[in-house]
A and B are shown apart, each in its own frame.
Chain A
Amino acid sequence: MTDATKPITRLDKFAKFGKFASSLGTGLSVISTLTDVVAYSEGSLSGTRLAYRSVGTFGSISVASSFGGPYGALVSVGFTGLEKAYDATEPVRKEIVNSYGQFKRTLTSSWVKFK
């Protein structure tokens, strides 16, 4: 050993591409959140949804950085999937709320009549 440091490993083409790809992933996440901020300022996105997406984005970046890319991707897919599921079930949820309201109204009016 003649040096106080290990030689710096020069990245090969594959490693450079991997590093660029992960940087691109981080960059896309940040840009995606900023695009949501613009949508929020225009009034086309609610504050709750902006907060949810921001937590999802920064959560997935933190998990990717702390535990590895696949785990970060899993968190990201989980957050996106939940949001899509929430949107997809909106008619059903509305129907359930309406039916419950109807049921409650019927029950209340019957109770009043009974009294």
Chain B
Amino acid sequence: MNTYRVTINTHFRFLLSTLLYVVIPVIIGVPLILYLKRGSFDIDIAYSIGVWGVLLLFIPKLLIHLNYYFENKNMVVYYEEAKKQLRVADTKRDVTFTMQDITKITEYKTYPKAENRTTWMPWDDYHYSLVELRNGEKFYFTSLILPNLDLPIDKSKITLKKRFYPAIW
């Protein structure tokens, strides 16, 4: 049986990708743009532009990370391959179901992620799936808990929806 939950490693990956794809590009970009556009480098201007640049790119990513985290923070998903069975437990419910109980899966992804292209925005790797069951139960499986949901169900039950910013509203 495989078990999935949001772990400290999930947040570590978030911080690492922020460092690699937000902070370092800004550190490289600020002096480059200042020299190109102003012809000089002023440390005070560089500092304020750098801080604002990181915040503008980081805050939307942080918000979607927290949005997903609060959706899945207490959720534990167990998958039993032999029975093709999922058990989803959180503070409010503990539901066990098979693949036949799933009526619909809607995947929400950014355009680059959905089309398997290079990502552009810091939050482009974030995506989630809404799984709906026969009995009306609904589950949001975000990329924090199940990074690449791939259940053995009929593909006609899966719908892909593209969003610029795939937060759970």
Q: Name A's B-contacting residues (CB within 8 A).
A: 1-8, 18-20, 22-28, 30-32, 34-36, 38-39, 61-62, 64-69, 72
Contact = CB atoms under 8 A, between A and B. Distances in A.
B57 A27 contact: yes
Contact of A20 (B20, B48, B111): B20
Contact of B79 (A3, A24, A26): A3
Interface string B56-70: 110000000000000
A8 B146 CA distance: 10
B49 A31 contact: yes
The interface centre, meaning the residue of A4, A26, A61, A68 with most chain B CB atoms within 10 A of its CB, is A4
A4 B164 contact: no
B150 interface: yes
B150 A5 contact: yes
Contact of B111 (A7, A22, A26, A66): A66
Nearest to A32: B33
B70 to A, nearest CB: 21
Contacts of B79: 3-4
Contacts of B4: 4-5
- Mostly, the A contact residues are helix
Interface string B14-34: 000000111011101110111
Interface in B1-19: 2, 4
A31 B54 CA distance: 9
A34 B26 CA distance: 12
A88 B50 CA distance: 32
Given A38-B45, A62-B164, A31 B30 contact: yes
B3 to A, nearest CB: 10
A75 to B, nearest CB: 13
Nearest to B146: A5
Nearest to A28: B29
Given A4-B2, A7-B148, A19-B118, A26 B33 contact: no
A26 B112 contact: no
A23 B25 contact: yes
Contacts of B21: 19-20, 23
A31 B2 contact: no
B16 to A, nearest CB: 12
A7 B2 CA distance: 13
